[in-house]
Structure 1
Amino acid sequence: MLQGSANFVGRQHELCLLREKLQQPSVVTISAVSGMGGVGKTELATQYVRQHEADYPGGICWLNARESDLAAEILQFALFNMNLEVPQELGGRKLNPEQQVEWFWQNWRPTEGLVLIVLDDVTSWKSCRKLLPKSNRFRILMTTRLRRIDTNFVEISLDVLSAEDALIFLTKVLGEQDQRVKQESRVAESLCAWLGYLPLGLELVGRYLVEDPDLSLAEMLHHLKAQQLRDEAINPEEEQLQDTEMTAKRGVKAAFELSWRELNQKTQYVGELLSLFAPDVILWEWVEFTSKSLNWVEADVKEAKKQLYKLHLIQRLAERDSGYKIHPLIREFLKVKQAASKQADELKRAFAEIFIAIAQKIPDLPIRRDIESVKDAIPHLTEVAQNLTDAVSDENLIWAFVGLGRFYSGQGLYALAQPWGEQCVLVVRCSLEKKHPYYAICLNNLGNIYYFQKRYQDAEPLYEEALAITAEVLGEEHPDLATYLNNLGNLYTAQERYQDAEQRYMLAVELTRKIQGEEHPDLATYLNNLGKVYFLQKRYLDAEPLYNDAVELTRKIQGEKHPDLVTYLNNLADLYTSQERYQEAEPLYKEAQAISQDNSAATQY
C-alpha cells in the first residue's frame, strides 16, 4: 500500500462522500473515483485508506489493476500478505485462476468484519468483474480514467484543485521555510493556472523548485512556457520518481500517454485537431465542420468524441450546449502529438478555413446579435491570427485580423481592436506586395481605428495611402475608392476642415452614382454625410435636400425599419429644429424613436 502525500490538500467533500457510500449496507458496495491522468485519484484512495483504516477490521487489499494479471496479483496477495496458499485443485477438480480467486475471497482472514478492496487504475471493468467477491462484507473502491465505467456504480468525478487549494498545495510542497510563493504571489497564481491546477503538475514543479532554492517562480514559469511538456520539471525520468515518496510514479507527459494509447488512430487524429483550438470553449460543431473538409467519416468523429470524453481528455460544459474544454496541459500534450503528425499541415489548413469563414461573416458595423453569434469563436480566431497565418491562403490572409478588428470596434473597444489593425498591416506588408489591394484595406481599417480613438493625425496618412494604392492598382472607378474618400471626409469633419470634407464627400457621391447607380445603400450614407457638413456650416438650404434624399433612398432599398434610417431621420429633424420648424421635426423624431425601439434587441453596443 502507498504511503500517501504529507502535503495532501482539500478533497474533504470527496473523502466524506466516499466514506458515506462505502459504509452503506448492501450487496458488495462499489465506488469509483474517476478523473483525468494526474488529477490525484490514487492519492485520494490512499488518503481514504489511511484515514479510515479502522472502519475495515477485516483488512484492506490494494491491487494495481492496470499493468498486471489481476488474478495472479490477487493470488500473490493471498500468499505473501496472508500466508494463505490457494489450492490448485479441489475435490479432484483442477481450479482455474478465476475459481482460485473465488476460493480466496471465501476464505479471507479474518472471517469477520468489513473488508476494503482497492482496485487502482482500472482500464476495463469487464476484466475485473469476474474476479471480485460477492459477499457484502467486501467494499470495493476503484480508481479509473474512464468516465461512468458502469452505471451501477457510485461515481465520484475528481476535478483539478481550486485556485486557492493549488496555492496551498504548492506552498506545502516547497516547505514552511520557503518564501517564494509569498514573495511572488502573483506569479505563483499564474504558475498554478498554467499548470491547470493539476495536482501532479503542481507537485512535480514544487519538488523541482525545492532542488533549486535560487530559482524564482518567474524563471520557472518562463521555462515551462518555453519548453512546454519537454521541461524536466514536469517530465522527469520515471527512475527519478521511483526514489521519491510521491504517490505518482510518472511525469505529466507519461501520465497522459497512458490515455493516448487507449485511443484508436482516428480518435488520435481528432485529438490532434483539438490541439489547434484555443484553451477556451470549443463548440463541437466546429470539429464536425472541420472534419467534413478533411473528408473524415462522420461516425468516426462521433466515436472519437465518446472516447475522448470517456477518458476525461475533454470536459463537457454543463452551461453550454455541445460545448467542451480541454485541460491546458492536455492541450499541450496534444500539440506535441499534432506537431509530429504527418497530417499536421492539412489539419492547420482545415482548422484555419473554418474560422476564416466565421470572420468573413462579421459585418463592418456589427450589432449585438452579430457579436453574440461569434463571441465563442473569437479566441480560436485569435489563435489563427497569432499562430496559423502560414496555413491561410493569400486571398484570405487579412480576414482573421479584419474579423477581430470588427468584433472589438463594433463594441467600441478600440484599444483591443488596434493591435489587430496594426498586425494586419504588418503581416500583409511582409507577405504580399506593398501595392496590393489587401494592403489598402488594412491601412483603411487601421485608419478607422485611429479615427475612433481621435488620433486624427495618425489616421490621415493611412487613408491617403489606401486611396493612392487602390487608384493605382484597381483603377479610378472602384467602389473602395468611394469608401476611403468618405472616411477621409469623416476625418476632416471631425477636425472642422469642412471644405476638405465637402470635396471628399462630393467625390464619393459622384463615384458611387457612376459605378453603383442611384439605388445603393452607400450612396445614402455619403449623401447624409455631405448634408452633415453643410448643416455644421449652417448651410441649411444645401443640407436639406441631401438629408431628404438619404431618408427616401433608405426607405426604398433598406425598408422602413433599418437602423440607418434612425440616424438620417434624426439628422433631418435636427435641421428642422435649427430652423425652428418644430412641427416638421416632431414626427421625424417620433418615427426615429419608434424604429429604434423596434430594433432594440439588435441595437449596436
Structure 2
Amino acid sequence: MAAPPRGRHRILRWLNHPRRLVRLSPGQRRRFILVIGNTIVTSGAIVLQVSARGNLVVWTLALIAVSLITGILAIGTEWLIVEGAGAAVESGRHRWPDPGVANGSAPVSLELPPADEQFVGRRQQLDQLRVMLQRVANDGRGAPVLALYGMGGVGKSSLAVQFAEEVRSEYPGGVLHLSLGAGTTGLDAPDPATALGRLLSALGVRTGEVPPEEDARRRLYHDCLVGRRVLVVLDDAKSAAQVRPLLARVRGCATVITSRRPLGLLEAEPFTVGGLDDDSLRELLVRQVGARRVDDEPDAARQIIRACGGLPLALRLVAARLAADEHRTLAELADRLSLDEFRSGDVRVRDAIEVSYADLSPRSRRAFRLLTLFPSISLREWAPAPLLDIPVADASAVMEDLVEAQLLERAGRGMPNGAEYRFHALVREYAEECLAAEETPDERRAALARLGGAFLTLAEYAEHLTDPTVPRHGRAGGALPSSAEHWHVDDPDLLRYAEYAPTRWLLGDCRRLGRMVERVHDQQLWDLCWEISVVLARVLETVYTVWNRWDDVLRAGLDAATRRGDRRAESIIHQGFGVLCHYQDRFDEAEQHFTIGLRLCREIGHRPGEAYTLRWIGRGHYFAGHFAAAVHDLEQALELSRGLGNKLAEARVLRDLCEAYAGLRRFTDAEQAIRAALALFESDAVDQGVDQNVRQPAEAARARRDLGILLNRRYKFAEAEQQLTSAVDTLTELGHWYWRASAVFDLAMLRLRQRRPVEAEALMWQSFDTFNDSGYRYWTAVVGRRLAMLRMEQGRVEEAVELMMPVLETFQQLGLGLWESYTLRVLAWVRREQGRLDVADQHLQDAAALAERYEDPWGLMRVRWMQASVWMAQGRAAEAVRLYREAAATAARYEEPWQEAEILADLAKALRATGDRAAASRAEAEAKEAAASFERQPDRRRAGRRKGSVRSLGLPGLPGLTAGRRERLRR
C-alpha cells in the first residue's frame, strides 16, 4: 500500500479531526490510550526534575522537548491507526476479504467488476464526471456523491464502473461495488441494514463485531471509513431511503450511484446518462460483428443503429445474435427488428422496460399505455388529462412520473404551449403491447374520443382567436351545429395551451390534428372526424406548408361529412381541398373543388362561404393567366365581403385584385386596390383577435410585397425598395418562409432594375433553393426562368438552356399556358443568340398562339417585337416592319413610353433597311417624343437619371435604349 502523503499539514490534519479518537476500533483505542499515558508520565517526570532546579533556560528547553515528544507520538499514533487499518485493505486490494456477513447471509465480494471491454463513446461524460468529482471535493464538502441516472439499458452501470477504474488510483483505500437491484447479482435487493452489513464485511469487520441495529451499523461504517480514501459504487439504486445510509460521507471518500430515476438526494450531484450517438453505436457494432460485415451492408447497419435508439444494450444484444450466426446478413435481421428481437440468451431489453413499468403507480401505468393513442411521437403535457379523464392540472405530474421512471424523456421545456415529451421507440412498442393486452377495444375507443374532443376544443378556440369572424362552431351561435363530444370545452386549464400565440399553436399541432382525423375516422367517430376536418380546412391557407399528407386527411373528413349529410361541412372541406391543390400547383383539381364548394354555398345560402370561394376561384384564374376572368370573380367576392362587413375578407380580396388588375396592365386600379388593402391591414378595422401581433404583420407584409412589385413595374424604385425590404424583414422575423422566398425574388427583380446584378443573382438563388427544396414546382419554375434570362445576359448560353428546359417542361405539365408562352419567348431569345433563327421563329409562333388564346395583348406584343428582330436577321425587313408597328401601337395603348420608344427605334432601323428613309425619320421623331414624355414624368425621370438606362418590362437583352441611344433620341 502506498504511504499516505507526508508534510507539515499532518499535525494540523490530526488536530482538525478529534472525532477520530472516538471512531477507533477497541484494539486501536487501547493502543492509543497506552501511548498517550506513557507520554504524559514521561513528560511529567521531565517537568518535575526541571522545576526542582529552577533554571529558566532548562525549563524552556524541557517544555520544547515535551512538545516535540507529544507531537511525534501523536503522528506515530495516527500512522499506526491509518496504516494499520489500511494494510489489510491493501493486501487484499484485488481480492476483498470474504468473511460472512451478519444475519447469516452468504459471503459477498464487493470488488469492482471488470471494466467493459466493449465500452465506447463516453469520453466526454467521463471527463464531466471527473470535473464534478473534483469540484465537489474542493468546495468544502470533501465527500462527493455523484448520482447517475437514465433508462434501463442506456449504459449507466458500465459508465460508473469505467469511471471508478479511471479514478481508482486516487482512492488507495479501495473501491467497493454494491448492487442494490434485485435480479442483477443473484441476490435479493438488500435493505439498508443488509447493505451496510455487506459493506462492513468488505471493510474487514468480523461477523461478530457487526451490530444488529441499522443505526449502529451506519456509525460503525463511518468509523471504518475514517482515515481511508474509499470510493463506493452503489449500482441500480431504487430510492433515496435505500442509499442514504450507505453514502461514504467521510472526508476523502466518494460515492457513485446509478439509478433508473432521479432519487432526489440533496447531497448528490445529478448526472443524466443519455444514449450513445450513431457513430459510437456503429463502432460497437463493428467490434462485435466485424468491419467487413458492416461495410458490406451499410444501409442495414444504419437501420439497426436507428432501431436501437441510442441504447448500447439493445445494440449489443442484436450484435451478439449476428456474431453467433455468421451466415445471417444484417439486412435479414434489420427487416424484422422489433422489441422481441433485442435479446440474447436470457438477457432482453424488454426486461429492463418491464422493471420500470412495474414500479409505476396504477394511474401512471394506465397513462403509459394510453399515451400511445396520441397522434405523434412528441407528446403534449396535457395529453394524460383527456386520456385518463382527470383534471388538466394533474396531467403534468403524471408525465413527470413517467420521466422519472425513464419511460418518457422531455423533448422541450419552457415553451408557451407547455412542455413536450416523447417515447423511446422500443419503449413505445412495449407501451403499445400493454395497451392491446390491458385495455379493451371500448376503453381504447372512449379514450381516443376524449382525446379527439380535447383537440377539437383547442383547435376551435385557436381558430376563433386568430379570426374572430369565425365563431366557435361547437358553441351556441356557431357557424355549424356540433354533434361531436367536446372535452372540457370551457376549461381554462386546457384552453390556455392555445391562448398564447394561437397561430403558432395551429402551426405546431396541425400534424397532430391531421393524424387525429385519420384515427377517429378509422374508429368511425364520424362527427369528431368531420368537425376537426372543418377547422383544418378553414386554416389550411396558414398551415398547408407544414405537412404533405393533407389529401388523406381531407378525404377522411369529406367522407365523414358526406356520411352525416352535412352540406355546409362538405363545402368547407372542398374549399380547403381547393386551397391545398392550388398551392400544390394542381390548378385543375383546385378549380373542381372550388366549383363544388361554390355550388354548395349557393344552395344553402351561405354568403361568407360564397365570397371566400369566389376569391379563390379568381386567384386560380389569375395564376392560369385568365386575368379578365380573375377580375370578374374577385370583384364579385369584394362586393359580397363588403356587404357582409368582413373587413379582413375585403382586404384579402383587394390584395388579390391588385395582381389581377396588373395582369391587365390596369396599374392605376391595381395601385388603388393594394393601397386600400394595406390601409385595412394596418388599421384597427380588421379585427384579427388576440393574435394580431403575429397575423396582422404577416398580412400587411404580403400587401407590401404586392405594392413593391407594382411600384417596381411603374419605375418607382425608391418606394418599391422600401416596401419590399420591409416585407422581407417582417416575413423573416415571423418565419413565413414561403412568402419570404417570394418577396426575396421580387426584391431580386428590383435589384435588376437598379442595375445591381450580383445582388440580384444571389437573392434569386436563395429564393430558388427554398422553393426547390420544398417541392413547389410553380415558383421553382418562375425563379428558374428568370435565372436563365440572367445567364443569357451574362453570355452563358449553355447554362441558360440547361436551366430553361426543365422550366418549360414544368409549365407544360402544370397546364400554365401563359407561363409556357413567356418561357418560349426566352427560349427563342436563346436560340436567336445561338444563330438558330428557324427554331427561334417557331418558338415565337407557338408563344404568340398561346398569348392570343389567353387574351394577353401585352405578352403578344413582346412576342411580336422579338419575332420582328428574328425576321430582320433573316432578311425579312418588310415583314418585320409590320410586326414593329403592331408592337409600338400596343405599347402606346398601355401608356408605356419607354417601351414604345425602344420599339420605334427598331422600327426606324427596319424602315431604313427597306429603303423608306422618310418613314424611318418619322419613326425616329416619334421615338424621341415617346422618350421625352417618359422624362416628363417625375418618378420615371429620377429613375432614368439614377440608373443610366431603363430596361424594358419583360425580357432584358431585347433591343433596348442604351445610354447613347437615349441621348440620340433626345436630340
Which bin holds the TM-score, normalised by the shorter protein?
A: 0.7 to 0.9
Question: Corresponding residue for 1:377?
Answer: 509
Question: Corresponding residue for 2:120?
Answer: 9
Contact 2:455 2:513 in 1 (8 A): yes
Give 3-state SS (helix, strand or coil) of 2:549's partner. Answer: helix
The structure 1 residue matched to 2:452, chosen from 348, 352, 367, is 352
What code does the residue aligned with 1:13 have?
Q
Change over 3 Å in CA distance of 1:565–1:15 after alignment to 2: closer
Question: Corresponding residue for 1:492?
Answer: 621
Question: Corresponding residue for 2:686?
Answer: 558
What code does the residue aligned with 1:397 have?
C
2:404 maps to 1:310: yes
**CA–CA separation in structure 2 for the residues paired with 1:557 and 1:62:** 73
2:242 maps to 1:127: yes
The structure 2 residue matched to 1:341, chosen from 439, 448, 453, is 439
The structure 2 residue matched to 1:522, chosen from 637, 645, 649, is 649
| Bigger shift: residues 165-174 or 379-388 | 379-388
Change over 3 Å in CA distance of 1:430–1:316 after alignment to 2: closer
Contact 1:22 1:29 in 2 (8 A): yes
What code does the residue aligned with 1:72 have?
T
2:266 maps to 1:151: yes
Can you give the 5+ residue segments of structure 1 that lack an aligned partner in the other structure?
242-248
The structure 2 residue matched to 1:233, chosen from 341, 360, 365, is 341
Change over 3 Å in CA distance of 1:407–1:83 after alignment to 2: same
| Bigger shift: residues 54-63 or 483-492 | 54-63
Give 3-state SS (helix, strand or coil) of 1:558's partner. Answer: coil
Deviation sequence 1:47-91 (CA, Å, 0-9, x none)? 234455555544443222123234335546777x789641178xx
**CA–CA separation in structure 2 for the residues paired with 1:307 and 1:132:** 25
Give 3-state SS (helix, strand or coil) of 2:619's partner. Answer: helix
Give 3-state SS (helix, strand or coil) of 2:265's partner. Answer: coil
| Bigger shift: residues 207-216 or 29-38 | 207-216
2:422 maps to 1:326: yes
Change over 3 Å in CA distance of 1:114–1:574 after alignment to 2: closer
Question: Corresponding residue for 2:529?
Answer: 397
Can you give the 5+ residue segments of structure 2 that lack an aligned partner in the other structure?
1-111, 183-188, 468-500, 740-971
Structure 1 residue 16: deviation in Å? 4.2
Higher share in helix: 2
Give 3-state SS (helix, strand or coil) of 2:266's partner. Answer: coil
**CA–CA separation in structure 2 for the residues paired with 1:587 and 1:82:** 86
Give 3-state SS (helix, strand or coil) of 1:179's partner. Answer: helix
Change over 3 Å in CA distance of 1:540–1:338 after alignment to 2: same
Contact 1:371 1:407 in 2 (8 A): no
Structure 1 residue 233: deviation in Å? 1.7
Contact 1:405 1:418 in 2 (8 A): no
The structure 1 residue matched to 2:305, chosen from 172, 192, 199, is 192
| Bigger shift: residues 197-206 or 261-270 | 261-270
Contact 1:535 1:575 in 2 (8 A): yes
**CA–CA separation in structure 1 for the residues paired with 2:278 and 2:323:** 21
Change over 3 Å in CA distance of 1:382–1:214 after alignment to 2: farther
Change over 3 Å in CA distance of 1:281–1:428 after alignment to 2: closer
Contact 2:510 2:536 in 1 (8 A): yes
Q: Percent identity?
A: 21
* Bigger CA radius of gyration: 2
Question: Corresponding residue for 1:483?
Answer: 612
The 5 Å alignment of 1:11-410 reads 11-18=122-129, 24=137, 28-53=143-168, 55-67=170-182, 68-70=189-191, 71-72=193-194, 75=197, 85-87=206-208, 95-96=212-213, 99=216, 114-131=229-246, 135-136=250-251, 138-147=253-262, 149-176=264-291, 178-180=292-294, 182-224=295-337, 227=338, 229=339, 232-234=340-342, 240-241=345-346, 249=347, 251-277=348-374, 282=379, 284=381, 286-287=382-383, 291=385, 295-297=389-391, 300-316=394-410, 320-321=414-415, 323-328=419-424, 329-339=426-436, 340-341=438-439, 343-360=443-460, 361=462, 372-378=504-510, 380-381=512-513, 383-385=515-517, 387=519, 389-390=521-522, 393-398=525-530, 410=542
Structure 1 residue 40: deviation in Å? 0.9
Q: Give the TM-score normalised by structure 2.
A: 0.49
**CA–CA separation in structure 1 for the residues paired with 2:270 and 2:671:** 74
**CA–CA separation in structure 2 for the residues paired with 1:234 and 1:460:** 52
The structure 1 residue matched to 2:596, chosen from 460, 465, 476, is 465
Question: Corresponding residue for 2:795?
Answer: none
Change over 3 Å in CA distance of 1:58–1:276 after alignment to 2: same
Give 3-state SS (helix, strand or coil) of 2:613's partner. Answer: helix
What code does the residue aligned with 2:162 have?
Q
Contact 1:405 1:417 in 2 (8 A): no
Contact 1:40 1:199 in 2 (8 A): yes
Change over 3 Å in CA distance of 1:404–1:8 after alignment to 2: farther
Change over 3 Å in CA distance of 1:352–1:168 after alignment to 2: farther
Change over 3 Å in CA distance of 1:346–1:88 after alignment to 2: farther
Structure 1 residue 121: deviation in Å? 0.8
Give 3-state SS (helix, strand or coil) of 1:143's partner. Answer: strand
Structure 1 residue 122: deviation in Å? 0.9
Question: Corresponding residue for 1:246?
Answer: none
What code does the residue aligned with 1:192 have?
I
Structure 1 residue 295: deviation in Å? 4.7
Question: Corresponding residue for 2:556?
Answer: 427
Number of residue-to-residue matches in the alignment: 564
Contact 1:39 1:159 in 2 (8 A): yes
